[in-house]
Amino acid sequence: MSNELLKVENLHVRFFSSSAVVNAVEGVSFSLKKKETLGIVGESGSGKSVTATALLRLIPSANGKITGGRIIFEGKDLLSLPEREMRNIRGNEISMIFQDPMASLNPVFTVGEQIMEAVRAHRKTTKKEAKKIAVEMLKLVGIPEAEKRISMYPHEFSGGMRQRVMIAIALACRPKLLIADEPTTALDVTVQAQILDLMKTLQEKIGTSIIMITHDLGVVWEMCDKVAVMYAGKIVESGDVRTIYNEPLHPYTWGLLKSQITSSVAKSEKLPAIPGSPPDLSKNMPGCPFADRCPFAQAICYSRKPEMKEIGDNHFVACHFQTRESRLKREEEAYRG
Amino acid sequence: MGKYILKRLFDLVPTLFAVAIITFIITRIIPGDPASVMLGPQASVEDVKELREELGLNDPLHVQFFHYMKDLLTGDLGVSLTYNEPVIGLILERFPNTLILSFSALLIAILIGVPAGIIAAYKQNSLIDYAVMLVSLIGVSMPIFWLGVMLVLYFSVHLGWLPATGMGSPEDGMLSFLKYLILPSITLATIPMANFARITRSSMLEVISQEYIKTARAKGLSEFLVVCKHAFKNALTPILTVLGMQISMMLGGAVLTETIYSWPGMGRLIVDAIEKRDFVVVQGTVLFIAVIFILVNLLVDILYKVVNPKINYSAEKRGV
Amino acid sequence: MHAGSVPVLKPEKEDKKEAGLLKKLLRNRLAAAGLVVILFMVIIAVFAPWIATHPPNKMDLAHTLLKPGTDGHILGTDNYGRDLFSRLVYGARISLIVGIGAVLVGGFFGTLLGLAAGFFGGKLDALIMRTMDGLFAFPFILLAIALMTVLGQGLFNVILAIGIANIPGFARIVRGQVLSVKEEEFVEVARSLGASSGRILFWHVFPNCLAPLIVYGTMNVAGAIISEAALSFLGLGVKPPTASWGSILKDGKDFLVLSPHMATFSGLAILITVLGINLFGDGLRDALDPKMKV
């Protein structure tokens, strides 16, 4: 078990507004080993970003709260730490990068200053030393002319370069875990591939584990060892990427895989979409959250919440029906109709 | 940066020119004869004519303008009709006093107003926030001359703690000097203070919800650093925009404040000159203040660029 | 709409905004309170002759500086024995007239200049804005003071002086709006349908400048009222014996020790009125667009 880096148990996050309470994350559990990459997939509103944000306890306290669960990082429960210790972990042992690099970089400070700040927050270094480290980091993430670029401002970089800068900031202190919240979504397709490559290379070099939040199944396939599929604030299926992609068990996972363009979908065929839309997370509904959109929903699906059960080797599903055989056949027909 | 400053200096020239022209227009072209206004309704026609001749008011306009510009460029603002001294001398005598008053007031306004705004924004919708907003609102609605009078009423007349009028001098001891300075400074500081609180609050609110604040937190920085370094530096731009306007209002407000407290500054000079109908002094002093303000604005613009390297000066200034 | 005319193209949001506007305004209780204060003052000003208890300028040198409540003088008398309450009531008239008048003057000319500068750009824009910059260099009060020194005292002159000092502010705001509206698509559409510049300017661009203009104008009334009071305080405003809140304060300052009621109540009148206008203006701005740069 000393190989286990992170273990999230039964995490609950709620948001409060004047009119409603939203259960953004309900009972989410997963684990991550050292040097492993976990992908968390789902559509908008599935709670994947909230989960990521919760790991660093960055949920805006004005209207959100982690209401239950444990986040065990290297043996310590992060939720029980005082804020001061948590700050020691942020940017240092666990780092995070976000979706929009232009918005995520402070426009009034140079790129160098922002990297140096990350370093000096956690290491006792002189300004000169920090500057050297900053230049090294820029070189590491593949930014040419690093010595010159260090005194430039974010708006003087292109989108892909900015994301590299973000990665430089995040990895400056050689964190054990990097959380990447949709890091390539805002980038051009060609740049996306570069950034993912960079992340993989750096992971090798530094030995970081990565949690990749995304809605893009292709990215998961490229980058991740394991994947957890989220829907309406809950994990509906999780396991090794290859296993899940070859044999998806949950109807939602199946629908997701089908709706993303793969080479097997002929051009003339309509892209299958999962009809319906995600449920209102402020209403506590009994039963499976996917029931409304599930082609196989039965009475039990509306009345009782399915539990996560281990079906195969490290393969978990939350669905009342788990017989693989009958599943596959029916799904072919259901989604085609 | 140097290029930017040079460019701004270059831009100043037309504005200075405009100011000179406007002052000229106000005093020479607007209907109403300054000479007769000055001498009062009892003056004889000859006296008025003589005065007009003396002031060069009978010359054709372009001649007047030429003399006017020539004088300006040599720093000659004319001779006071009541004191019979060069106006520029009178101004320079009193300018430091107004400077002291304005500077103290600005200091108070910034040191109290800005942090109040930051705290109000950070604790949005809390009791502190509402308190700051309410007090600021009253502050901006307050007629400064009434506030001054009320403060005098309470602190000088009623409590007898502080002197009501005059300036005192640092030679008499710093403490006694401060005693004279407090009430006028607070009076003058009130409206800018309230404005700073409001603009800081709204600017900070906008900035605090930005993505890069999340990044700063994710780096493990303390809340203090996040708010006061990352958030505030970005919030500074609108505050600086308002800074120029506040200084302008303060230079105007100084006139009223100095009247109430008999503070021997430029404001008193103008008001006395108004009573004595000495329009040469009024014209010269107003012009001087306008020029000072233009220079102050230049400093503010440079501060802009220092704070936010993204700013394109002409776009921002023109209100785009 | 008859054949051959270019349809007025406003962005769709406009209609939905009107319905929600009133609702939003009324929901904001502070803004509603402000409106109440404004209406209160307007009523006092309009019905002054009926509300005042005494003729405002009637001197009574035997009964000067009476305390509030004596002898049927609700708020006492001033240094000439004139009833303070009545003078304050008539002072409301001055404030109202100057407030609205000065804003109309400044607003009218300022808007024209701003529209011209923003819409036509180029040299005209440069010329107008340079002039406005020049005007802006003068602190507002000083500009008004300089103008009044030359014009002489009087109600009309006060309106003119404050109005002129108001022009650059309006010009800048309108110009800013025009510049951003100019880029919107519906202007291009109108042009492609053959509308002339003038038509586009007045029928399409201008209506979309109204929101910030209205808010700014409202706040400006407050400013004008304070300016009039300030000018009167300095002896530059309306001619005595006309009752203005500012001139009452001016006289009251000299009698602060023995009779603070003159200074206190006149200033209070100004404070309450301006506070009401500002509250309402804030609410108006939030209802129209909280992000408005006014």
Q: Is A63 on the interface with B (CB under 8 A)?
A: no
Highest mean pLDDT among A309-323, B22-36, C240-254: C240-254
Is B122 a member of any domain?
yes
Confidence of residue C118 (pLDDT cuts 50, 70, 90): confident
Q: Name the residue with higher pLDDT: C244 or C6.
A: C244
Res. A268: pLDDT tops 60: no
pLDDT in tens, C209-239: 888 899 999 999 999 999 999 999 988 889 8
Whether the Cβ atoms of residue B301 and residue B8 lie closer than 8 Å to each other: yes
Token pair of A201 as six digits? 């290379």
Q: Which domains does chain C carry?
A: 49-288 (1.10.3720.10)
Q: Give the rounded percent of residues in chain A with a pLDDT score beyond 90.
A: 51
What's the confidence (pLDDT) of residue C166? 94
Whether the Cβ atoms of residue A236 and residue A319 lie closer than 8 Å to each other: yes
Length of chain C: 294
Q: Tokens 């930051």 identify what position?
A: B118
Is the Cα torsion angle B232, B235, B240, B245 positive or negative in sign?
negative
- Same-domain check for residues B265 and B219: yes
- Same-domain check for residues B66 and B137: no
What's the confidence (pLDDT) of residue C228? 95
User: What is the domain count for chain B?
Assistant: 2
- Same-domain check for residues B243 and B298: yes
Token pair of B162 as six digits? 């502080």
Other C-beta atoms lying within 10 Å of the C-beta of residue C180: 13
Is B13 a member of any domain?
yes
Could you tell me the CATH number of the domain that includes residue B139?
Answer: 1.10.3720.10
pLDDT in tens, B54-80: 766 677 777 878 877 888 888 777 777
- Same-domain check for residues B128 and B25: no
pLDDT in tens, A69-113: 999 999 899 999 999 999 999 999 999 999 998 899 998 899 999
Q: Chain B, 43-102: which have a CB under 8 Å from a chain C CB?
A: none
Whether the Cβ atoms of residue B85 and residue B287 lie closer than 8 Å to each other: no
Residues facing residue A212 across a β-bridge:
A39, A180
Confidence of residue A271 (pLDDT cuts 50, 70, 90): low
Contacting subunits of C (3+ beta carbon pairs below 8 A): B
Res. B51: pLDDT tops 80: no
DSSP at A66: E
Q: Name the residue with higher pLDDT: A18 or B207.
A: B207
Direct distance between the N- and C-terminal alpha carbons of chain B, in angstroms, rounded to an integer: 22
Res. A266: pLDDT tops 70: no
The amino acid at A95: S
Is B81 a member of any domain?
no
Alpha helices in chain C (DSSP H): 13-27, 29-46, 48-51, 84-120, 122-136, 140-151, 155-182, 185-192, 197-199, 210-233, 245-253, 261-288
What's the confidence (pLDDT) of residue C17? 45
* Mean pLDDT, all residues of chain A: 86
Whether the Cβ atoms of residue B183 and residue B152 lie closer than 8 Å to each other: yes
Q: Name the residue with higher pLDDT: A65 or B174.
A: A65
In this prediction, does ipTM exceed 0.85?
A: no
- Inspect the interface and report whether the beta carbons of B146 and C173 lie closer than 8 Å: no
Direct distance between the N- and C-terminal alpha carbons of chain C, in angstroms, rounded to an integer: 35
Q: Is B13 on the interface with C (CB under 8 A)?
A: no
Res. C138: pLDDT tops 80: yes
> A30: exposed, middle or buried (C-beta count within 10 Å: 0-12, 13-18, 19+)?
buried
- Same-domain check for residues B132 and B162: yes
Chains B and C touch (3+ CB pairs under 8 A): yes
Domain ranges, ordered by start, for chain A: 101-172, 258-335
pLDDT in tens, A201-221: 999 999 999 999 998 888 899
Is B245 a member of any domain?
yes
SS (H, E, C) B210-238: CHHHHHHHHCCCCHHHHHHHHHHHHHHHH
Q: Which residues of B touch C230 (CB under 8 A)?
A: 143-145, 256
pLDDT in tens, C4-54: 444 444 444 444 444 455 556 555 788 889 999 999 999 999 999 998 888
Q: Which residues of B touch A98 (CB under 8 A)?
A: 211, 214-215, 218
Q: Give the rounded percent of residues in chain B with a pLDDT score beyond 90.
A: 24
Whether the Cβ atoms of residue A86 and residue A121 lie closer than 8 Å to each other: no
Residues facing residue A6 across a β-bridge:
A32, A73
Confidence of residue B169 (pLDDT cuts 50, 70, 90): confident
Q: Which residues of B touch A96 (CB under 8 A)?
A: 218
Residue of B nearest to A116 (CA): B219
- Same-domain check for residues B241 and B92: yes
- Same-domain check for residues B231 and B259: yes
Res. C147: pLDDT tops 70: yes
pLDDT in tens, C172-206: 999 988 888 877 777 778 778 877 777 777 777 88
- Inspect the interface and report whether the beta carbons of C142 and B256 lie closer than 8 Å: no
The amino acid at A85: E
C241: preceding bond cis by omega (within 30 degrees): yes
Res. A147: pLDDT tops 60: yes
- Same-domain check for residues B96 and B67: no
Provide the pairing of β-strand A21-33 with A4-16.
Answer: antiparallel
Chains B and A touch (3+ CB pairs under 8 A): yes
Direct distance between the N- and C-terminal alpha carbons of chain A, in angstroms, rounded to an integer: 46
Q: Tokens 């604790």 identify what position?
A: B123
Report the distance separating Cα A27 and Cα A42, nearest Å.
Answer: 16
Q: Name the residue with higher pLDDT: A334 or C266.
A: C266
| pTM (two decimals) | 0.83
Query: What's the CA dihedral at C198, C200, C202, C205 to 10 degrees?
Result: -140
- Tell me the residue range of the domain where B57 lies: 2-73
- Same-domain check for residues B45 and B95: no
- Same-domain check for residues B143 and B272: yes
pLDDT in tens, B249-296: 888 899 899 988 889 998 888 888 877 777 778 878 888 899 889 888
Res. B318: pLDDT tops 50: no
- Inspect the interface and report whether the beta carbons of C235 and B37 lie closer than 8 Å: no
Is B230 a member of any domain?
yes
Which of B42, B73, B104 is the last residue before a domain boundary? Answer: B73
- Same-domain check for residues B64 and B140: no
What's the confidence (pLDDT) of residue C8? 42
Is B238 a member of any domain?
yes
Closest Cα in chain A, distance from residue B118 (Å): 16
- Inspect the interface and report whether the beta carbons of C147 and B152 lie closer than 8 Å: no
